[in-house]
Structure 1
Amino acid sequence: MYAKLKGRSAMPIPQTAKPLARVSAKEVVFSAVQDWIISGTLQPGEKIVDTELAKAFSVSRTPVREALQMLSEQGLVEVIPSCGTRVAEINLEDVRQTYELLAELECAAVRLAFPRMENNDLNALKALNLHFTEMVEQGSIQEQCADDRAFHDYIIQRTGNQYLRQYISQLMIRAIRIENLYFGENVEQKISVEQHNKIIEGLETHDLPLAEKFMRENWLISYKRAQDICSKLDIKKA
């Protein structure tokens, strides 16, 4: 045994071993602040001080500024000349554009996923919606939203289109932020369960117009809900 070891020129590391991902200071700050904004920990209009962030993360101001620039490109922060940086406000026009485009992109996802759907995919969607139903009856709003997103994510993944996934992912950041800030615990999700069932029915019976119809309705109902809440809170149009 030891004779065999002597003849080795390199350590026999398994092929399954992967190098650890190196996360830069910029990425750490970006991820953390993005999460704070989406979750509502940082409220719309709240001032962001780069020196305070640099101190909190024990980094220089350079990666903090780079992270804030990335967040600005996502529309999550606003850099105002002579005033500094603040968390971006939400207005009715943002809400409209976010939900209307999500409705159209997810209808495109249904069309692209449609010919790829097999029995195991339909069973997976049914299982996801069943769990969603259980969470609607007894779970928290966070659990309900997670199950709702899992259902939509499954269809998006089955498109096999990475660009569509990226565009939807960017818009979902805005939608999740809106819902975390304004929807609260009293959101009625039973209609979403029914719409999911109709989407599955359309996919299962090869009725693409039916699946598209209820995917669009699913998003536009969320838009109407967000619009009503924003109007009651007197959130401006732009």
Structure 2
Amino acid sequence: MREPRLYTTSADYVYQELRHRIITKQLKPGQRLPEVNIAVQMGVSRTPVREALRRLASEGLVLVIPNSGARLASPNRREIEDAYVVREQLESLAIRLAVARLSDRHLRRLEETVIAEERAFEEKNLELYLEVNESFHRIIAEASGNRVLADYVENILARTNVYIVFYDPFYDIETNPSIAEHRAIVNALRLRDEEKAVALMREHLELSMQDLRRPEEEAVQKKETE
């Protein structure tokens, strides 16, 4: 069951509600988001709707097109692959630097995050899963000791989380290999095995990208199984 939220403003209410609908796949990539319709549905004026859409656009979830309105983002395969190429380079460097600097506290936080990640997956709570998944990668970036690198990693995490929202088969799978991959990364870090940690991170990101499914790819797979 979804926990009730406290909203500070009408814009916050609209933002949270739209974001929830996007993450739970009630809205589809490329779908139009007419301000008037949303305002009527949620019982607010168009001003908070506009503010909420701008906030979602800053996160990459929505595209606001001048003289055309807003619509849900719909990244193509090339955009996804390009983003993951950048992410792989950034996170490979981050984990390489982190191996020698990682503290016991960092390791405990990583272990706790994996446990929380597993719980979120069992509950099929994608909002929580994205939060703890991002936290796992952010902890490693912070442990690198390079603030500029950590900022770049945080930026690319936000971008690739958008792809997870739209194209990850989160709600359709019974097991999540990403959790086991995270555990393996933690074990390599605990052993201070730099090369293994880097190799595992590269493999993890490659597999994560491969798991993303575009709607047209799903349609082809469905047709092949019929």
TM-score over 0.5 (shorter chain): yes
Distance 1:151 1:168, change over 3 A: same
Deviation at 1:233, TM superposition (A): 3.1
Report the Cα distance in structure 2 between the residues aligned to 1:48 and 1:79, rounded to whole angstroms.
9
What CA distance in whole angstroms lies between the structure 2 residues aligned with 1:61 and 1:27?
Answer: 13
Which is greater in Rg? Answer: 1
Deviation (angstroms), 1:92: 1.4
Q: Does 1:48 align with 2:33?
A: yes
Question: Taking structure 1 as the reference length, what is the TM-score of the superposition?
Answer: 0.67
What amino acid sits opposite 1:207 in the alignment? D
Shift of 1:131: 6.7
How far apart in 2 are the matches of 1:216 and 1:186?
23
Pair 1:195-2:169 in alignment: no
Identity of aligned residues (%): 26
Name the aligned partner's letter for residue 37 of structure 1.
I
Whole-angstrom distance in 1 between the partners of 2:38 and 2:205: 36
TM-score, with length taken from structure 2: 0.70
Structure 1's unaligned 5+ residue stretches are 1-21
Letter in 2 for 1:102: R
Q: Note the 1:87-166 alignment, pairs <5 A.
A: 87-126=72-111, 128-129=113-114, 139-142=122-125, 145=129, 148-159=133-144, 161=147, 163-164=151-152, 166=154
Does residue 19 of structure 2 align to residue 30 of structure 1? no
Task: Give ranges in structure 2 of 5+ residues lacking alignment.
Answer: 1-6, 221-226
CA pair 178-156 structure 1, distance change in 2 beyond 3 A: farther
CA distance in 2, matches of 1:150, 1:216: 18
Aligned CA distance change for structure 1 residues 231 and 206 (closer, same or farther; 3 Å): same
- 1:49-94, Cα deviation, whole Å (9 max, x unpaired): 2123233444432232233233334332234455432222242123
Mean Cα deviation higher: 108-117 or 122-131: 122-131
Shift in Å at residue 225 of structure 1?
A: 1.9
Aligned partners of 2:167 and 2:214 also within 8 Å: no
Q: Is the 8 A contact 2:32 2:72 kept in 1?
A: yes
String of CA shifts for 1:154-206, please: whole Å, max 9, x gaps: 324544636235414422431331345x443226534x344334322332232
Q: Does 1:178 align with 2:163?
A: no
Number of aligned residue pairs: give it.
210
Distance 2:120 2:61 in 1: 30
2:212 alignment partner, SS class: helix
1:214 aligns with 2:200: yes
Letter aligned with residue 225 of structure 1:
D
Counterparts in 2 of 1:62 and 1:193: CA distance versus 1, 3 Å: closer
User: Which one of 206, 209, 212 corresponds to residue 226 of structure 1?
Assistant: 212
* Aligned alpha-carbon RMSD (Å): 3.7
CA apart distance, 1:108: 3.5
Q: Work out whether residues 61 and 73 of structure 2, in 8 Å CA contact, stay in contact via their aligned partners in 1.
A: yes
Distance 1:66 1:131 in 2: 32
Deviation at 1:217, TM superposition (A): 0.8
Alignment match, 2:53: 68
Q: Is the 8 A contact 2:134 2:157 kept in 1?
A: no
Tell me the SS of whatever aligns to 1:45.
coil
CA distance in 2, matches of 1:76, 1:47: 12
Counterpart of 1:85?
70
